[in-house]
Amino acid sequence: MKLRTWHWASGISIILIAIAIASYWIMSGPNVPQEFSEARIKGAEIAEEILAQQANTLQTLEKIAQFDKARNTAQALILISEEVIRNREANSKAIKLSSQLQRMASALTSIKPNIAQTLATQAVTSEVSLVSRLLSYNDYLSQLFEVLKDKFEGKATYTTTKIQDLINNINDEVKAINDLNKDFTYALNSFDALFIDGVAR
């Protein structure tokens, strides 16, 4: 059961928490609406929670695999039940992140100069797509836990092929998320550089 790891390293990068906080005083100036800056920072907090939760999920999957090898069905089922609940929470957090992106999007037309607006638009667009892929990732993960549950309960609906197909789908989503996050990071780093370097003043 080999899953891709998140490359949202350095803090999920979804809203670049370090940059957001360090440059907050710059972002709240006349060229960038305060609504955009506040939503960006709030999104960073939610993103950090998502990263921590996904890291825990990967660790739990490893434990489930260990219990599987040890034929410890009871413990495996307990972990699966806990992860099903956490997966619902992950969807809720993804929706909250989406709401912050909507706030950022609503402020885009007020960002000046035009090059800064273009970069901010690119960043938000990438992140909206990322949230969509994150929801798909969570859905596949939920299905995986259901199939694993069937396996440990000895139900006939379980097949090894189902598990492998879901793992492949999950890995595809993670790759897409990582690629979109790179686009987001590049656009937002370029956006910050405009103000840090004084070009957009």
Does residue 119 register a pLDDT over 80? yes
What residue segments make up the domains of the chain, in order of their start? 17-196
Instruction: Please provide the average confidence, as pLDDT, over all residues in the chain.
Output: 83
198 has pLDDT over 60 = no
Question: What's the average model confidence in pLDDT over 19-23?
Answer: 44
Cβ–Cβ under 8 Å, residues 57 and 83: yes
Give burial (CB, 10 Å; 0-12/13-18/19+) of 119: buried
Is 177's pLDDT higher than 80? yes
**Dist CA 136 CA 134 (whole Å):** 5
Confirm if 69 and 25 have CB atoms less than 8 A apart.
no
Q: Which two tokens stand for residue 60?
A: 């739990």
- Given a cut of 50, whether residue 2 has pLDDT beyond it is yes
Enter the pTM of the model: 0.80
Which letter does DSSP use for residue 112 in this model? S
Give which of 116, 122, 123, 164 is closest to 143, Cα–Cα. Answer: 164
Most confidently predicted of 8-22, 46-60, 77-91? 77-91
Distance (Å, rounded) from C-alpha 135 to C-alpha 158? 24
pLDDT digits (tens, 9 = 90+) for 120-173: 999 999 999 999 999 999 999 999 999 999 999 888 777 888 888 998 999 899
